[in-house]
Each structure stands twice: as structure tokens, then as C-alpha cells.
Amino acid sequence: MLRKELGIFTMGDLLDHFPNRHIDKTKVSRIADIRPDTEYIQVAGILRNMQVIGDKRARRMVAVLQDESGLLELAWFQGISWVQKTLVEGQRYLVFGRTGFFNGKAQMVHPELEVYVPAKADGKAYLEPVYPATEKLKARGLNGRQLGKLTYQLLSQVKPDDLAENLPEDICRQLQLMNRYEAYSNIHFPVSPQAYQDALKRLKFEELFMSQIRLNLVRMERHQASRGVVFEKVGTLFNEFYAHHLPFELTGAQKRVIREIRTDTGKGHQMNRLLQGDVGSGKTMVALLSMLLAADNGYQSCMMAPTEILAQQHYAGLKDLLKDMPVEIALLTGSVKGAARKRILKGLLEDSIHFVVGTHAVIEDVVQFKNLGLVVVDEQHRFGVAQRARLWEKAAIPPHVLVMTATPIPRTLAMTAYGDLDYSVMDELPPGRQPITTVHRYEQARASVMDFVKTEISKGRQAYFIYPLIEESEKLSYEDLMQGYEQVKSFFPEPKYRISMVHGRQPAEQKDTNMQRFVQGDTQIMVSTTVIEVGVNVPNATVMVIESAEKFGLSQLHQLRGRVGRGTEKSFCILLTGSKASREARERIKIMCATNDGFKIAEKDLEIRGPGDIDGTRQSGALNFKVASIVNDKELLELARNLAEKRCEEDPTLDMAKNLQLKKYLRSQKRKNEWGKIS
């Protein structure tokens, strides 16, 4: 019978379907004690006056639950026929749910009910599991309670050996973890609240530790298995540039990361490095020095940017820095066509071009190199792990890959979603930067905001006005932008003021011209959608006004703000909103006004949105944790990370006696989990 009902599950599925809470049958409240601020409550009473009232959308089933202290109204808007069939008037029920007040009376909508059975009067807590309903379950007509019964039966048949320990004994001892069998029993049917907490901790740790072990093994395997081109020496190009053309002293963080890259690329395995640095931390220079290192060893480099504007800007910047150096650099984007394009493709094949900068779509598709040694992917953490792996596998010896991202990822997320990569952080800004002052203003204050912008422009500075781009309604945002443009024009009339506008609907050339005019200072104002979000560098721009700021996400706001504060002058970011903004939007704006630190912002973003929504991590299987949460279990994750790293370093094949049960477990999981690589 158990087998039959289990048809849709494996035993493991069932045991791994954890309850989201427990009810303690011994804790029954009195109806009279329900207060307006009561949230969830459990009461017991007799069901009376069941009736269906209202029609169409207001149709609902209502009933009254009566205990010795008072009455509680119950209501169902859905599943009315089920309620009619299942519940019996006059029966005593144990009722659990969230209470609300309606017309001054306590009410509970869609309560959970079961026939009341008095709890044993032995003073112990009896914690019964409540399982989240899943589609799979509903489709089979199984409810959470039946599931509880199945699980109970299953657990009573499972022997400790069926749930053999999979964590190394010394770690269990060190962290005082409950053993695996007990943990499974107690996560479902805890003998006490403390036992439940212990079970939870153990299972969370297990989940995090296993995922960290896998990531470490993948990373180590890549290091060992994948041959990489060797940059064995620092040569004349690097040294010449460093000694004579470097426009500034490198920051400590830049130096450290370059050392990391240098060590990594010299070892003969492929580097796959994620470089995180907040906006303005100077990642471009790190990329350039790495490219020079490649060139010193006879290899070509390519730098890929997500947008045409950014590719151009990188190209212009690098070309300028390299003007006195014997290095050929080319720009390759969708708008480079005809003979010019042919020449570049030929140059790359012949190795007469050493560096190519372009949009990645273009470079990925068609370009062939004579001997590509380094790929720099700029501002691009939107790549999934799998995508990255596919990127350059065509080459016999894959080039080194440096992925640079300016949207900081919280450490915990980086550890899990990108744990297979080598990872560098630039946590230092070049000296002399002044923090950007960020303020929130309501629409009503627009005139004074405009006055402020005028003052800045009169000092010779430049300003951005940014409008949101709402993907679902491109037309609408386009109209908003045009209206905004007219409005800005009315405050800043020509010819005294000159305005550039850039948006996604413009042909590439027009976009470029308008952008270039702003970059060169011909125009003082840039009106734009978020196309300027990434990378654009105009140090003379000191004000950014973000229109309808409530519509932007945190990391986007931070990216945008990073366009100012790039020079030595004090910069400002003004977040304009209407008076209506959601609580979350207000929270985002508050955070923006409070800090300039991208890593702090990323942490908050993760807290507000949860890991599933952070760009680029959605497809990542690494984040599908059952019990652990990278938001709430940071310390445990950190611990799991450290222990896993040590373990893999000490015993990369997991053949030491103390690691055998771990290895056995990982192998048994391998079939389920493709990305876990262990041989």
C-alpha cells in the first residue's frame, strides 16, 4: 500500500519533502484571545452554521467555530464543494490559520481543519509536520496530511543504515552535528523544538557542504585537466607600458589582482576568473595589463563588451593608452562593415592585430584568431555558468577567460553561483574620489532640482537625465522619454544649453554621434534610457537625475549612479519619484541614499529579492537549495566553504579513509546531478 501511494515519489523524494512548519497540538488558544495583531493561531471548537452566501465572485462558504470563550468566523472562497463534502456541522475541529478582523469580528479565511483529538496529557510537545502542497501532490489528490502519514510510515521502516552518514566524522564531531538518520526523523517529526533546530542545522550544513565540495572539485578538475596557454614571462610590452605609459599609480587592489592573474596564467591550466570590482574601481586597467601580458607571450587578446557604445569607448580608451606602443588594436562591432571588416578578420587570422575590442555577439560568432590567449568579458555577469563553459570550447587549448563585473555580487552568492570560478575582488577605489551624495526628491520639487542642475552646469559640469525602460511596454517608455526630453528642454532652452539624447530605438550611428558629443563636452546634458547603464566614462559629468527612480532595481540604480563621481569634482545623484511608491521601492531608495558601497547594496538586494531573481543566477542549479538559504545562512555557508576547501586541498580525490563515505555519497548523487563532477 505504501509502495502504491508512493508511486509518484522515490523514497528519497518523500524524505526530502520537508515540512515548512510544525503544529504543536498541545497549544490550543481560546477564541476570545484573538487580537487584531494576532497572526497565526490554533483554536479548537465546534463547527456550526455552514452556508454558501453571495454569488459570482463574491460566492463563498462561511461557517462559525465556537469554543467555550467565543465565536470565530470561517470563510472559504475556493474549494467550496470540497468543504461541503468533507466538513460536518456539530463536529469538533482543531483549526489553524491566519486571523483577520472583518467588521470588527475575528475571521479566518481558508483555515486548516482536522477532527479534534485531545492531546495526550503527558506534558510533552507533539509537533506535527505541515507540508507545503506541490503541484505534483495536488495532481494526485494528496494533501499535506496524507503526506505526513506516508512519511511517518516510511520513516518507521527506514533503518539507520538506509540514511547512512555522508559527512566526514571529524566534521560532524567538530560542529556537533546530529547524525543523518536522526536529522531526517527530526526534521519531519521532531521530538522537541530543539531537536528540530538541530536537525535543520545539520541538513542545511550538509546541503551547503556538498555543494561546496562539488564546486571545489569542478574547479580543481579544471585546473588539472584543462590545459591552458602559458604566459611564462613578463616581457617588454608590459614593462615598457608599466614604466612609461601608466597614467597613474595602481591601487593596491589592482596590483593584487594583476599578481593573481599572472600566477594563474603562468601555471599551464586555463584561468577562468571572475573579477568583481565596484564601479570605478579601475577594472579596465587590469584588463589592459593582462592583455599586454598575453602579447608579451605571443598571444592575441579580445575584449568583449555588452553594448556597442561600451565597446567603442573601450576601444578609444585603450587606443589612447597604447598610442606609443607597438601594439595593433582593432574595433569590431555590428556597424563595422565591408572592407574594414574584412581587413580586421584577416588581421586576426594573421596575427597582425593583437587586441580586438567588440560586442560579444560579433566576436563569438564569426571571428577566428591565429592564437587567441586571453578573452576579457566586460560588465557581463549576466552569463550563466553553462554559457561561459560553452564560450570558447572550440579552441584546442582554451584561452584564459577574465570575466569582469561591476555589479557586485554578495559574497555568499558568488561562493555558490560562481564557486567553480577563480575569484578576485577589487575592494578599493582609486585615491581622491569623493563620495557621491545621493538624495531622494519628489516630483513636486522638480523646479528646485532643475535649478540645482543649472548651477552645476554653470560651473562647467555636465548632467545626465535617465528615464526607465520598461521592457513590456517599449512604446510607453519611448513616449515617456520624449516627454521627458521636451520637459528638460523647457528648463534648459537652446542655444544656451545643448542636449544629447540616446535611446535604444536610434540607429547605431546616431546613438554614437550623440554619445560622442556628450563625451567631448559639446553637449552639457544627456537625456537617455538605461542604455548608458554600463561602463560609460565621462568624468566631467557630476549630476545624475534618475526619473521615476521607483521603477529601477537596486543594482541598476547603483550601476547608473556609477556614471557620475568619476572625476575629481563632487558629484550628486538625485532620485526623483512620484508620491506613490511601493514599500520595496522606498526601501531601495533609502538604501541608495544611505550608501555608495556596491557590496552593501548587493547584500540588500539579495535580501529584498532573494537569490532566484539576481541577474544571471536564475538558471544556476547551484542555488536550488532545499533547506539552506544563502540569505539567512551566511555563517553556515562560510563554514561549509572553508571546510570543503580544506578537505579538497588535503585530499583532492577523496580517497582518504575519513572521506570515503563522502565520496560514496557524491557518487551516488552523480546521476542526479550533472554538474557534480567526481570520478
Q: Give residues in contact with ligand ADP (CB under 6 A).
A: 248, 250-251, 254, 277, 279-285, 406, 430, 537, 539, 566
Closest CA to 293 of 257, 336, 344: 257
Residue with cell 570560478: 421
Q: How far is the CB of 281 from ligand ADP (least distance, A)?
A: 4
Contact call for residues 55 and 89 (beta carbons, < 8 A): no
C-alpha cell at 252: 593596491
Pick one of Mg ion, ligand ADP, none as the site partner of residue 254 (Cβ within 5 to 8 A by kind): ligand ADP
Residue 151 or 251 having the CB closest to ligand ADP:
251
**Residue 215: C-alpha distances to residues 275, 389, 462 (Å):** 18, 14, 46
- Which stretches within 334-434 are classed as H helix? 338-350, 360-366, 385-391, 411-417
Residue 216 or 571 having the CB closest to ligand ADP:
571
Q: How far is the CB of 574 from ligand ADP (least distance, A)?
A: 21
Pick one of ligand ADP, Mg ion, none as the site partner of residue 285 (Cβ within 5 to 8 A by kind): ligand ADP
Pick one of Mg ion, ligand ADP, none as the site partner of residue 616 (Cβ within 5 to 8 A by kind): none
Q: How far is the CB of 426 from ligand ADP (least distance, A)?
A: 7
Residue 41 or 303 having the CB closest to ligand ADP:
303
Pick one of ligand ADP, Mg ion, none as the site partner of residue 251 (Cβ within 5 to 8 A by kind): ligand ADP
Q: Which amino acid is at 445?
A: A
Residue 264 or 379 having the CB closest to ligand ADP:
379
Pick one of Mg ion, ligand ADP, none as the site partner of residue 281 (Cβ within 5 to 8 A by kind): ligand ADP
Residue 211 or 333 having the CB closest to Mg ion:
333
Does the protein bind Mg ion through residue 535 (CB under 5 A)?
yes
Residue 152 or 248 having the CB closest to ligand ADP:
248
Contact call for residues 219 and 420 (beta carbons, < 8 A): yes
C-alpha cell at 340: 574594414
Closest CA to 299 of 256, 332, 265: 265
Kindly indicate which of the ranges 360-368, 380-388, 479-487, 529-537 contains the residues binding Mg ion, using the contact rule CB under 5 A: 529-537
Q: How far is the CB of 430 from Mg ion (least distance, A)?
A: 13
Pick one of Mg ion, ligand ADP, none as the site partner of residue 279 (Cβ within 5 to 8 A by kind): ligand ADP
Residue whose beta carbon is closest to ligand ADP: 282
Q: How far is the CB of 220 from Mg ion (least distance, A)?
A: 30
Report 380-399 residues binding Mg ion (CB under 5 A). none
Contact call for residues 492 and 527 (beta carbons, < 8 A): no
Residue 77 or 248 having the CB closest to ligand ADP:
248
At residue 74, φ and ψ (nearest 5 deg) are -115, 145
Q: How far is the CB of 416 from ligand ADP (least distance, A)?
A: 24
Residue 216 or 559 having the CB closest to ligand ADP:
559
Residue 332 or 538 having the CB closest to ligand ADP:
538
CA dist 137 and 49 (Å) reads 31
CA dist 364 and 387 (Å) reads 12
DSSP 400-415: EEEEEESS---HHHHH
Q: How far is the CB of 423 from ligand ADP (least distance, A)?
A: 16
Q: How far is the CB of 277 from Mg ion (least distance, A)?
A: 8
Residue with cell 555608495: 596
Pick one of Mg ion, ligand ADP, none as the site partner of residue 277 (Cβ within 5 to 8 A by kind): ligand ADP
Residue 88 or 246 having the CB closest to ligand ADP:
246
C-alpha cell at 375: 578573452
Residue 282 or 484 having the CB closest to ligand ADP:
282
**Residue 26: C-alpha distances to residues 32, 114, 126, 197 (Å):** 18, 14, 7, 19
CA dist 190 and 197 (Å) reads 9
Kindly indicate which of the ranges 177-185, 482-490, 530-538, 551-559 contains the residues binding Mg ion, using the contact rule CB under 5 A: 530-538
Q: Please report how the helices 144-157 and 180-188 are oriented relative to each other, as an axis angle in degrees rounded to 10.
A: 150
DSSP 148-189: HHHHHHHHHH--GGGG---S-HHHHHHHTPPPHHHHHHHHHS
Q: Which amino acid is at 363?
A: I
Pick one of Mg ion, ligand ADP, none as the site partner of residue 268 (Cβ within 5 to 8 A by kind): none
- Distance from first CA to last CA of the chain, Å, rounded? 39
Pick one of ligand ADP, Mg ion, none as the site partner of residue 191 (Cβ within 5 to 8 A by kind): none
At residue 344, φ and ψ (nearest 5 deg) are -65, -45
Q: How far is the CB of 239 from ligand ADP (least distance, A)?
A: 18
Q: How far is the CB of 359 from Mg ion (least distance, A)?
A: 15
Q: How far is the CB of 320 from Mg ion (least distance, A)?
A: 15
Kindly indicate which of the ranges 205-213, 239-247, 531-539, 540-548 contains the residues binding Mg ion, using the contact rule CB under 5 A: 531-539
Pick one of ligand ADP, Mg ion, none as the site partner of residue 335 (Cβ within 5 to 8 A by kind): none
DSSP state of 389: H
Q: How far is the CB of 532 from Mg ion (least distance, A)?
A: 13
Q: In what order do the strands lie in the sheet with 372-378?
A: 329-332, 355-359, 300-305, 372-378, 400-405, 272-277, 422-426
Closest CA to 303 of 261, 362, 345: 362
Contact call for residues 260 and 431 (beta carbons, < 8 A): no
Does the protein bind Mg ion through residue 45 (CB under 5 A)?
no
Residue 111 or 280 having the CB closest to ligand ADP:
280
CA dist 279 and 567 (Å) reads 13
Q: Which residues bind Mg ion (CB under 5 A)?
A: 535
